[in-house]
A and B are shown apart, each in its own frame.
Chain A
């Protein structure tokens, strides 16, 4: 046994406010994996909503702030592929100079979505959970396409006792959330959501899971409105809470 790995948690703002249980599940998984977990309480938002809306100046201020808050961290781990992609990939586009740029270049190699950190870095896949349900895994786009995340969460979920894991047969299409897109083009966004839900329902799953609560929030909003026999659950919660959750 070496010394514990230090992990700084990055809990994206909407997870903080709407899905704190995903954050707590992440803490639990990291602790099971024998990490020393820190939560830099100064953190707020990575700047993605402003950046995706074209407000780069505002996004840059928040990015610089993020770099200050997390610059010293050994590892940064977040339960969101999208926000990790914002930092790892899109901060490149922002105007970062000198020390800031240098700190960022180092930081972007040490920031991970949870499943990347557990599977690729720590090489731990079995968290002893039990979840005897049919679960559909939705590949959240930013995690999947910008970070290449797919096999890691799937591997983690496959280790869960009693789970039947399926993937909708729709070419890993977008669920229709897309941040402010969901509000700017609500009709298209929800039409995409309907297609996604139809593909999920065709699998016979009872639960939809994903790497991003944002996608799940959008889908859950439609599920509740349509009163579908489905529920959404972030995959870290399945791994951390298992059966007790349903």
Chain B
């Protein structure tokens, strides 16, 4: 079974992305900018923003502190509401559970609304290998599925594409005359997918939150596809990461508003879908299954250095504001979750050995932490993961030695003085291109050592003052 692959060399992957960029302006740069701008405008109109953000952060923190108790309460409510629970310890288990539900229904296809967790477990490929056609119904997901690509963003899957890209894709794959008009392209998707919705036997949705107090399964959407897949088929599957539990409906109201603001710059999304129980009347789903996925989450949960990352509500705001993401888009990161949150979540989920460079793909500018609606200290977590890489021995001998020497030099002022004077002397005789830091000189002129260091100037000044 194949799950999203990580690049064997992240630096190389980023280099290629920079080399291959052709669209000007870059769609991901333009699109992230648009999103961030709208979000900023709304925040400046919302005086209580900081207060709401603090409260939501606290509530998310409390939810995670009480995760076991909330799970117990949630499971009891699901049982009472007639929701069937399946716990999956890893991706393989989750895929098998979903397949068996589909097989029981004799379904040859699965209608899906947007879920990053299904990407994480490699569901689409797994189902295809078992003769079942997964059908993405979120417009952006539909587009990337037609392109046989992974989404390049957590909330805007096709944000790396231009309208022309989509137009050519639909022309080629759906056999329609070329148009690059977004409303026209949207109509085509609506028409195609409406037939599928009416015929669907099984639908699958992601879960933004599950409410411990009532058992509601909450999905946030704008297009209505989330409602379709949870209302039309006889059987509904909700695929949920185990950390997405929230205490009460009251909390949902606030989380939702912050999510809408952070993800798309809306005060509220068009739909907040709250599934509670199977339908009792003639219409509507007769079975609701929840697949509760661990897949490394309980390991993160038990890790006090990293578990703050589990507060994440997957709004994608940190991607939009990240100056690195803006340069390369989502695909070069590999894995399921790109951008700052992915730089933390990917190595946290899979282990630093699997993604040793992810925590380094950041200038530590902190824009991600600043915009995060649940105040995840992403730079701090990246720094802890960097430490972990060093601990794991994944750094090279050369680098280990370099920093050891750095320490040795800096531990003694006389040594530091000698070393810097030596470097100053070397720089005087060597051409600029022969400096010890190759990455620097490809793009930038090298800074020159000053003729005299500050400490030398200071000592001169002292002497002059003392002489007076």
Question: Is A–B contact present in the complex under a CB 8 A cutoff?
Answer: yes
Q: Does A127 contact B (CB under 8 A)?
A: no
- Chain A residues near B18 (CB, 8 Å)? 187-188, 191
Contact partner of A20 (CB less than 8 A), chosen from B36, B446, B453, is B453
- A residues 138-189 near B (Cβ < 8 Å) are 141-142, 145-146, 171, 173-174, 176-189
- B residues engaging A (CB < 8 A)? 11, 14-15, 18, 36, 40, 321, 323-324, 326-328, 357, 359-367, 369-370, 380, 383-390, 395, 399, 403-404, 406-407, 409-413, 416, 420, 423-424, 437, 439-440, 442-450, 452-459, 461
- Chain A residues near B439 (CB, 8 Å)? 182-184, 186
Q: Does A11 contact B (CB under 8 A)?
A: yes
Interface residues of A, CB < 8 Å — how many? 66
Contact partner of B450 (CB less than 8 A), chosen from A17, A55, A224, is A17
| Given A45-B410, A52-B383, A181-B363: A173 touches B369 (CB 8 Å cut-off) | no
B-contact 0/1 string along A10-49, CB 8 Å cutoff: 0101011111110110010000000000010111110101
A77 to B31, CA, bound (A): 41
| Given A13-B416, A17-B420, A20-B452: A141 touches B366 (CB 8 Å cut-off) | yes
Contact yes or no, B453 A58, CB < 8 A:
no
- Chain A residues near B423 (CB, 8 Å)? 17
* Distance from A166 Cβ to chain B, minimum over Cβ atoms (Å): 19
Contact yes or no, B323 A173, CB < 8 A:
yes
Please report whether the interface of chain A is mostly helix, strand, loop or mixed according to DSSP.
helix
Contact yes or no, B450 A61, CB < 8 A:
no
| Minimal Cβ-Cβ distance residue in B for A182 | B440
A65 to B386, CA, bound (A): 22
Contact yes or no, B407 A50, CB < 8 A:
yes
| Given A186-B439, A186-B440: A42 touches B455 (CB 8 Å cut-off) | no
Contact yes or no, B443 A21, CB < 8 A:
no
* Distance from A203 Cβ to chain B, minimum over Cβ atoms (Å): 18
Q: Does A220 contact B (CB under 8 A)?
A: yes
A174 to B150, CA, bound (A): 28
Interface centre among B359, B445, B452 (most CB of A within 10 A): B445
A103 to B369, CA, bound (A): 29
- Chain A residues near B403 (CB, 8 Å)? 50, 53, 55, 58
Please report whether the interface of chain B is mostly helix, strand, loop or mixed according to DSSP.
helix
Contact partner of B413 (CB less than 8 A), chosen from A43, A52, A171, A185, is A43
A189 to B443, CA, bound (A): 9
A51 to B11, CA, bound (A): 21
Contact yes or no, B364 A41, CB < 8 A:
no
Across the A-B interface, give the 4 residue pairs with the lowest CB-CB distance, nearest first: A178-B363, A221-B444, A54-B386, A174-B365
Contact yes or no, A41 B363, CB < 8 A:
no
* Distance from B310 Cβ to chain A, minimum over Cβ atoms (Å): 20
- Chain B residues near A119 (CB, 8 Å)? none
- Chain B residues near A182 (CB, 8 Å)? 363, 439-440
Instruction: Identify 30 residue pairs between A and B in the complex whose beta-carbon atoms are under 8 Å apart, listed by A's number.
Output: A13-B420, A15-B454, A17-B420, A17-B449, A19-B450, A24-B454, A27-B461, A41-B458, A53-B390, A54-B387, A54-B388, A55-B407, A141-B366, A141-B367, A145-B365, A177-B363, A178-B365, A179-B363, A183-B439, A184-B357, A185-B360, A186-B443, A187-B15, A188-B361, A190-B444, A192-B327, A195-B323, A221-B444, A221-B447, A225-B445
Contact yes or no, B455 A16, CB < 8 A:
yes
| Given A24-B454, A54-B389, A184-B11: A41 touches B413 (CB 8 Å cut-off) | yes
Contact yes or no, A54 B395, CB < 8 A:
yes
Contact partner of B407 (CB less than 8 A), chosen from A18, A61, A145, A174, is A61
* Distance from A183 Cβ to chain B, minimum over Cβ atoms (Å): 4
Q: Does A96 contact B (CB under 8 A)?
A: no
- Chain A residues near B14 (CB, 8 Å)? 185, 187-188
Q: Does A73 contact B (CB under 8 A)?
A: no
- A residues 204-239 near B (Cβ < 8 Å) are 217-218, 220-222, 224-225
* Distance from A38 Cβ to chain B, minimum over Cβ atoms (Å): 10
| Given A56-B387, A141-B364, A181-B360: A222 touches B370 (CB 8 Å cut-off) | no
Q: Does A84 contact B (CB under 8 A)?
A: no
- Chain B residues near A220 (CB, 8 Å)? 445, 447
- Chain A residues near B359 (CB, 8 Å)? 54
Contact yes or no, B453 A24, CB < 8 A:
no
| Minimal Cβ-Cβ distance residue in B for A196 | B323
Contact partner of B457 (CB less than 8 A), chosen from A23, A53, A176, is A23
Contact yes or no, B362 A178, CB < 8 A:
yes
- Chain B residues near A189 (CB, 8 Å)? 363, 443
* Distance from B30 Cβ to chain A, minimum over Cβ atoms (Å): 12
Contact yes or no, B447 A18, CB < 8 A:
yes
A65 to B410, CA, bound (A): 9
A221 to B444, CA, bound (A): 4
| Minimal Cβ-Cβ distance residue in B for A222 | B444
- Chain B residues near A11 (CB, 8 Å)? 454-455
- Chain B residues near A186 (CB, 8 Å)? 439-440, 442-443
Q: Does A7 contact B (CB under 8 A)?
A: no
Interface centre among B36, B359, B395, B420 (most CB of A within 10 A): B420
- Chain B residues near A50 (CB, 8 Å)? 403, 406-407
Contact partner of A217 (CB less than 8 A), chosen from B410, B412, B447, is B447
| Minimal Cβ-Cβ distance residue in B for A144 | B366
A46 to B393, CA, bound (A): 24
